[in-house]
Structure 1
Amino acid sequence: MKQRSLKTKLLLLTLGLFLASGVAMTLMQSASLNTLRNDIMTQTRGALEQEVSRTLQFQAERYAVQIADLLQQSYQIPLGIAAQLEGGMAQPELMPSRPLVELLLGSRLRQAEGISSIYAQFEPDGYDGQDASWQAGATHSVAGKGSLEVYFTREQNGQIAQQQIDAATSEAKFDTSRNEFGIRNSEWYLCGRDSLRPCLMEPYLYEISPGKQMLMTSLTVPILKGGKFAGIAGVDMNLPIFQQLAERLGKSLYDNQAEVTLVSKMGFIVGSNRHADKLGRPLTEAGLVAPDGKPRDSDSDFILQQPIKIDAADSQWWLMIKVPKALALSQANTISNQLGSLLQATQQQQLMAIVVITLVVLALLVWFIQTITAPLSLISRHVSHLASNEGDLTQQMQIDTHQELIELGGYLNAFLGKLRAMVQGSKQIGQQVHQQARGMKQTADAMRSSLDEQSLELESVVSAMHEMSTTAVSVAGYAEQAAQESETATHHIHRAQQTLSRARSEIHTLVEDMHQADKAVAQVAQRSTNISHILDVIRAIAEQTNLLALNAAIEAARAGDMGRGFAVVADEVRALANKTRSSTDEIGQLIGSLQTEVTSSQQLMNTGITRSVSTVEGTEQAFEALNQVVSQIQQIHDHISQVATAAEQQSAVSDSINQNLMRIGDTATALGQEASASHLLSEELEQAATTLANELDRLRT
């Protein structure tokens, strides 16, 4: 590549840069268009997803309201009947008769569309307490039991028919056995009885005619009497209307591609446009998951769970809608395909434009580079001609094309003129260098001889300084050893001081304790004196008691048999007084002995305190003496340390001087070597000056 012409290099470089720029711009624009497409698709998809969610939410809420309203309206019938019957039972004078209850239920069923049956059933004597009067049975009472149980149904032709309830059917309402789903068979009755609240039964299939079943549910309300369960009022509601609503909602969403399922509280299918064969069955049999109110959108489907609140029964059903995302977002996919086609066409047009522009620019570059390289070729020929004439600096170049090249030729001629002058000056300088090289050679020889003599003298000085440094090191070692020994002595004395200080503290403590003991003994002596006074009082009381007992005995003797008991008591009192006197005498003797011993203890303590004080004073004097010894040893240690420091400093100074002398010797040796080198360089410089003069003489100036 280095051997190619400037013209070729310019063409290749310019074309390469242009192509690289074009490709980079194309790639950047393509990436920008793809990014724009992705952004548009992301925003479009997001907007469509929000629109789909809003649409599904709106439709689900609208149908949820319809379903809740249907259930609430149907619930008003049993609620009204229960309220009316409870009010009558609370006021017996206003209580409807059994035939009137029968008439009330029949008329309500005729007025209610979508209700397949209505009933009111009571516990034994739960209504009016007149079951015994109706044992024979009636259309409104069970034969053999007399309980009020009314049941009306709507036939397939729309006619209202009353169903007579027998004893077996009446007892069946207490059946607690469970069906395949774990629900009690008589949950319609037992739920209200157990909870005392309205109950909405799970949907179930009921055979209305041979081979034909209908999905139904029961809406029951407990009837209370005095706050206790008396019976139940309820209706059976036909649920095909909910299947119709599910199918209608499914058809209105994305050409019937949406899956709509109405689910009861326990997860039974009430209506579904995809699983009509699973009505009244659990969701799991249709491969569905029970709703929980949490977002469940998957990568492939939008899933909405709309709760349906049935306030009358405090229950909740769910309306589930599932729509495939591919269907709901089909418009976004169409937009994506259109954008892809548009971007591909745009990229093809850009590529064609780049090819055309590249060809045009290449032609212009060839013409422009040719106009630049032609004058340069002319300059190259002139310089080659100049180099071929054995260094003839007297030649001049003549260039008359292009302002820049004309200036370049002028600058080259000026450079040749300056070079000619420099060569002439160099010849003169070469002669001067030759003469100076001879002088440097002579000077180097003289300096080498002087340095040899100086090196011998420095070796003698270095030996003397080494001996002085060795002596200083020995002195420093002895001083250091003495300092260590004085420090050891100081350490031992400090330990003796600490021991003496602890002894002084212990003696002070002992003196204080003895003072406290002396005070305690004095208090004991005082207490002993007080006890002696008390004993004197007790002794006087005992003597007085003895006299009183003696007088009592004399009076008892005078009284004869009447005072005999009193005489016995008087003798006992006298005996007790004598014992008290003897006891006080013994205590007095003990107190006297105690006072004698206490006095002796006080004397011994006073003697001990006096001796302890003397010991403290001696300890203080010894402590002060040790302090003086420590101070003097510390002064000795300081002097020895100063001597050691001075010796070390002297040794360090000697070493420093010795090192400096050695460096001076090394420097002198180096200078000798440099002098030898200077001698050689002077010879080489003289030869080089001669060679330079010969070469410069070859140039024509």
Structure 2
Amino acid sequence: MKKNISIKSKIILLSSLSLLATICIFSGVSFFQSHEVSRITTTASRDIIFKTVDKRLSAQASYNASQIQQLFAKKLTLLATLTDQISILNSAYAKQGVNERIIRQQINSSLALVFNRDATLDNIWLIMNENLVGQDSEFVDDLSHGSNSTGKLSTTWIREAGIAKNLAVSNELILTTELSANGVPYNFFFTCPNKTKSSCISEPFIDNSTGVPVLTATISEPVIIGGAVVGVVGTDISLNSLQQIAMDIKKDIYDGAGELSVLSGAGTLAAFTRDSSLLGMQVDKDLGAAGQQLWSQIVAGVEQLVRLEDSIRVLAPVSVKAGMKDWWVVLDVPKSVIEADAASLQTLQGTLQRSATINTSIIALIAAVIGMLLMWFTASNLVKPINNVAAMLKEIASGDGDLTKRITYGYQDELGNLVFWFNSLLDKLQPTLQKIKGSITETRATANQSLQIAQQTSVGMQTQLSDIDQVVTASNEMSATAQDVAANAARAAEAAQGVDRSAKQGLISIDDSMREVEELSESVTAAMLDIQTLAANSDEIGHVLEVIRGVAEQTNLLALNAAIEAARAGESGRGFAVVADEVRNLAMRTQNSVEQIRVVIERLLKGTSDAVEMMQTSHQKALVSSQQMKGTVESFSRISSAVSIISEMNIQIAAAAEQQSAVAEEVNRNITNVRAVTDSLSARAEDAAQMSKQLNILADSQFNLAEQFKT
């Protein structure tokens, strides 16, 4: 009997009962759960708010720390690049011998170039060791070469009214060891890089050099060459921008309710939104107990987030550079601000809960009435099984398309008749789709194979094109090389011919010289004979002088005897005595003259002997020179023959190189034609690959369409 109950009655009865039961259960559970959800949500929302605040504040502090880190990192990178340039210039001076004036001027120009390119730089300076680039004494007060009053390479660039100006850095500033308010020497900017051999950042200080107090920090970088510090380059950073950044961030933290501080590595306030007049102060000395508490937390290395009695504090380190003390960003947010948000959320949740309870009750009643009406209306229209069959067809058309499924229905009514014919239709469609899927699978395999072949062909063509390009390049280079060889061989042939002409001319000159040397040898021989004859004649003159001297001595004796006899004769012999005395005087004068002539003759004999020896030596050297000239003539003859052979070979090489160049150009033209053909084939291969890809895509599309139906 139950099988005879109509579908309409079943649907109306069961759906009405189900709808009423569902509404009652849903309403009861909803009322109970709303209270529990409200309680749990209030507690969880408070925790979530605080966790969200923690994450937000931590992220905000980390972001602010990264902003400050980037400010320092840009300057450190700029200084590192500048030290590399200075090292290269110093190497050019030390190793390549470039003039020290040029090096100093280029170093100073490099500073000026960097300074003018970066408008954010307030200044930039360089201090090098003494006598590093030339002698400092040669550059005293030479500002154009970056030198100070002692000639040391110590220069700085500043801005006055927006215009770059070059000044010298005095030695007094470099040597000042007086302690600043932060407890570090004033020349920390110079001594720190020299000691640590790494970058240094000074503690913030108030700079009054321009007449306006500016909170400033100095960054300095050592110039290291060969492991030793040879100088320091640096720049001053105005920290006023940090205070402005901090004030802008404060506006975004709970509408300005939070406070932000930036501390240096030694605890100096670089930014302080609570009171800007305290900038440059020490947080642990000038901010009382609160400052000491903050600094103790930083020194102790507490967690990044600290919950105080009346506020939440976030500490974010600013890692300036490895090896340096971290700077710190500190965010303080009052708890009252955060708890106000939680209280507002709790009040809003209570209001929403009450509103939801009322709305749920009303909606449940309305839904019950509307549901019953809809069930009656639906049951009245579902007297035919068309909706079930339509749902099955929809599943086949837009779902998985499972053609293996069949509709099972055990009643012999209109729906049973519809199910029977629907299943018969599926019995015909299933084998047909199986055949279509098999054909598509084969088509896709063929398309994939064609695609692979086309791709391999395209890759091969590209490889061949690359090889042909290399061959063309090599052929061009070979042609150019052959032309160079031909030109060089032609020049070598001309040079060899010139050498041959010079060798022949030298051979003629040597022949003339050899004849002149032989004539000189003969002349020396004749002169030597004449000098020997002169020596013999000089000896004979000596003998004659000996005879004359003997005669003079005898005459002197005779005159003396005559004088004696005249004296004996008395007055009668006076005239004879006078004559005898004159004769004796003449004899003495003759004897003296003979002695003088003898001395002259002896010197003449000695000079003649020396001249004979020199003539003999010159004669031997002339003979040796004559023999050497003959050997030189033979050498020049061989050189002339060799140069002639070289000239002929160079001419042959030039001809062969020109022929090789012509062949290379012909090969190059042929390869160019081959490349053009290969380009065409490559384009066809790419077209084939594209067609194979398109075919593969179509096959995949058809396969996917067929795969929608499970057979």
Tell which structure's C-alpha radius of gyration is larger. Answer: 1
**TM-score normalized by the length of structure 1:** 0.41
**TM-score normalized by the length of structure 2:** 0.41
